[in-house]
């Protein structure tokens, strides 16, 4: 490949791998349901400029739960327009040594669910493989090759899986081979902080530079509906429309060869990838008379930092995304702003209780969007792994008019304390005549809680998740 460039983050690979071993070993407390005997990824550049990605997986099922959960099927996406999929081997090796080939009717070529409602991507396919002859102790072997008639490929992945890996082999396009051994499993815990960085990252070929179309005539009527005298309001309305009404298709950008669809096609189909939606947003802003451009330096084809659009309003440049509704900020502020924003809720609740026996009633506070919640079941008395919390302050105030003669049982609630290394909490519940007043506020000093602060954090969360149900009776 004439213009290929390969970036292998060797130092990062070693560091991240060692880091994941230390953290996973300290956190792993349960027996795995399965384990990989081998994962091998081989990348090959062909003389004609195409490339092959060959993947081999050998996974041993240790418990029945692995069979009934997610290990009994494999899904492989590809785009027949420029990719072909070849199954080299697929069989199950039983504990007694017999080999059971995967039958032909277990290979189902289907449309990915994300493409069902998007006609432009109805050509993409997903090979669903239903593995057979499964029992505890068997080994599923799957070996397949994805041939890409393309000169670009971006790969980024972690070597840690949801079950242990005995050997993880990576053969890079230049022939360099790396073998990692005895990788512990990651924990399936929704409150574990996301891993920062990747064990393996490289790129072959050049990702295209994306540019905005000057206008989209098909969207002119829609754009005119959102125009106001206030430029910021207009920009925000257009952005919100793209976020809300153009369906985001989460397919890997590699499946469309990292190409941006024409903005008019995205608008008419009402569906697109992150790249497509960004192009449509920039084009609609241009149609509205704004100077807008796509910011290529913020691109990540892997999705952890999508493309963004810069728009000029009264000589100030603002940056916004086609996939979220964060407040409109100038570029410098947008780059420096914290990801978490304070949550403010102030509203009146209606008296709609659950009626219990003997004149008792129960009120449960609503589950509010954006409010930080955590399941206490994931907070045992001791925990070695970190907890992903939130740095966003929470301020909630409710009022409720009560019927005459109804009384709050248990009396008023007043929880107010500060834990210097973790945060502070304030919960007040009072009945004043026929009015119920509820105030809930939470401030956390850290977004990730380590072992040292875990007990204090647990205490804070137990109180925060309490006092959400209230009992009343008639006097």
If pLDDT is split at 50, 70 and 90, which confidence band does 370 have?
confident
Q: What is the mean pLDDT of residues 276-297?
A: 90
Please give the backbone phi and psi of residue 5, each rounded to the nearest 5 degrees, phi first.
-130, 130
Q: Looking at the structure, do residues 276 and 313 belong to the same domain, yes or no? A: yes
Residue 128 lies in a domain: yes
- Phi and psi at residue 90, to the nearest 5°: -155, 110
User: Where among 309, 336, 363 does a domain terminate?
Assistant: 336
What number is the average pLDDT over the span 372-389? 83
Q: Where residue 250 sits, what CATH number does that domain have?
A: 3.10.620.30
Same domain? For 305 and 371 the reply is no
Cβ neighbours, 10 Å, residue 218: 14
| pLDDT at residue 424 in the model | 93
Q: Model confidence over 245-286: pLDDT tens digits?
A: 999 998 988 999 999 999 999 998 999 998 999 999 999 999
Angle between helix 274-287 and helix 231-245 axes, rounded to 10 deg: 150
Residues 24 and 158 in one domain: yes
Q: Is 217 helix (H, G, I), strand (E, B) or coil?
A: helix
Cβ 310 vs Cβ 318: under 8 Å: yes
H or E stretch covering 140: strand 139-148
Q: Rounded CA gap, 331 and 232, in Å?
A: 14
Q: How far apart are CA 10 and CA 119, in angstroms?
A: 41
- 8 Å CB contact between 196 and 304: no
CATH number at 401 reads: 2.60.120.1130
Single residue among 204, 225, 249 that ends a domain in this structure: 204
Q: What is the pTM of this model?
A: 0.68
- Residue 108 falls inside a structural domain: yes
CA-to-CA dists, residue 100 to 61, 133, 138, angstroms: 15, 7, 10
- Clarify whether residues 232 and 323 are in a common domain: yes
Reported as a pLDDT band with limits 50, 70 and 90, residue 333 is low
Q: How confident is the model at residue 335 (pLDDT cuts 50, 70, 90)?
A: low
Judgement on whether residues 106 and 25 belong to the same structural domain of the protein? yes
In a domain, 212, yes or no: no
Query: Are residues 290 and 362 located together in one domain of the fold?
Result: no
438 and 463 in a single domain? The answer is: yes
Residues 28, 163 within the same domain? yes
Same domain, 157 and 15: yes
Tell me whether residue 2 is in a domain.
no
Containing domain of residue 87, as a range? 10-204
Domain count, the chain: 3
- Buried-state track 26-57, b at ≥16 Cβ within 10 A, e below 16: ebbeeebbbbbeebbbbbebeeeebbbbbebb
- Indicate left, alpha or beta for 129 from its phi (over 0: left) and psi (-120 to 50: alpha): beta
Residue 9: the pLDDT is: 36
Q: Note the pLDDT tens digit of each residue in 99-126.
A: 999 999 999 999 998 888 888 899 999 9
Q: Is residue 210 part of a domain?
A: no
Same domain? For 158 and 222 the reply is no
* Nearest alpha carbon to residue 160 among 179, 180, 186: 186
Buried b (16+ CB within 10 A) or exposed e, 130-142: ebbbbeeebbbbb
Which of these, 314, 211, 186, lies nearest to 262 by C-alpha position?
211
Quick one: tokens of 318?
A: 């603002």
Which tens digit of pLDDT belongs to each residue from 193-245? 766 666 888 888 888 888 888 777 778 888 888 988 899 999 999 999 999 99
| Same-domain check for residues 45 and 194 | yes
Single residue among 336, 352, 380 that ends a domain in this structure:
336
Q: Say which CATH number the domain at 37 has.
A: 2.60.40.3140
Helix, strand, coil share (%) of the chain residues, nearest 5: 25, 35, 40
DSSP string, 412-424: -EEEEEEETTTEE
pLDDT reading at 295 higher than 80: yes
194 and 289 inside one domain: no
**Residue 21 pLDDT more than 50?**
no
Residue 1 lies in a domain: no
Average of pLDDT values for 310-337? 79
5 lies in some domain: no
Q: Which two tokens stand for residue 52?
A: 């092959």
Which of 137-146, 253-262, 303-312 has the lowest average pLDDT? 303-312
In a domain, 4, yes or no: no
């Amino acid at each position: 490949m004439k213009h290929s460039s390969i970036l292998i983050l060797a130092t990062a690979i070693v560091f991240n791998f060692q880091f994941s071993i230390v953290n996973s070993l300290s956190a792993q407390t349960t027996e795995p349901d399965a384990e990989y005997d081998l994962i091998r990824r081989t990348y090959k550049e062909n003389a004609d400029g195409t490339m092959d990605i060959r993947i081999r997986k050998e996974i041993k099922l240790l418990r029945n739960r692995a069979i009934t959960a997610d290990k009994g099927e494999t899904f492989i996406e590809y785009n027949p327009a420029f990719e072909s999929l070849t199954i080299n081997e697929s069989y199950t090796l039983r504990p007694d040594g017999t080999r059971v080939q995967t039958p032909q009717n277990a290979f189902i070529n289907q449309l990915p669910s994300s493409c069902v409602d998007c006609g432009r991507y109805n050509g993409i396919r997903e090979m669903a493989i239903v593995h057979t002859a499964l029992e505890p102790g068997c080994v599923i072997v799957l070996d397949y090759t994805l041939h890409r008639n393309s000169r670009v490929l971006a790969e980024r992945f972690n070597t840690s899986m949801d079950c242990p890996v005995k050997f993880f082999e990576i053969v890079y396009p230049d022939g360099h081979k790396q073998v990692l051994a005895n990788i512990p499993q990651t924990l399936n815990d929704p409150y574990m902080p996301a891993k920062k960085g990747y064990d393996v990252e490289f790129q072959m070929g050049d990702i295209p530079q994306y540019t905005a179309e000057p206008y989209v005539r098909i969207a002119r009527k829609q754009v005119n509906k959102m125009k106001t005298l206030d430029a910021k309001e207009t920009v925000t309305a257009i952005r919100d429309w793209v976020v809300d009404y153009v369906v985001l298709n989460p397919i890997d950008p590699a499946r469309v060869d990292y190409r941006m669809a024409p903005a008019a096609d995205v608008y008419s189909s009402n569906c697109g990838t992150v790249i497509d939606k960004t192009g449509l947003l920039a084009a609609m802003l241009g149609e509205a008379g704004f100077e807008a451009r796509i910011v290529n330096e913020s691109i990540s084809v892997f999705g952890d930092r999508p493309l963004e659009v810069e728009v000029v309003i009264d000589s100030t440049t603002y940056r916004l995304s086609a996939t979220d509704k964060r407040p409109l900020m100038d570029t410098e502020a947008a780059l420096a702003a914290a990801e978490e924003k304070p949550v403010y809720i102030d509203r009146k609740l209606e008296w709609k209780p659950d009626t219990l026996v003997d004149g008792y009633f129960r009120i449960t506070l609503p589950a509010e969007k954006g409010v930080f919640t955590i399941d206490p079941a994931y907070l045992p008395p001791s925990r070695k792994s970190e907890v992903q919390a939130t740095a966003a302050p929470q301020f909630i105030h409710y009022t409720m008019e009560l019927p005459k003669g109804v009384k709050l049982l248990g009396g008023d609630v007043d929880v107010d304390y500060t834990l210097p290394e973790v945060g502070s909490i304030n919960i007040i519940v009072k009945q004043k005549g026929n009015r119920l007043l509820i105030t809930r506020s939470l401030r956390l000093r850290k977004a990730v809680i380590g072992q040292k602060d875990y007990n204090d954090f647990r205490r804070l969360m137990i109180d925060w998740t309490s006092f959400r149900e209230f009992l009343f009776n008639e006097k």
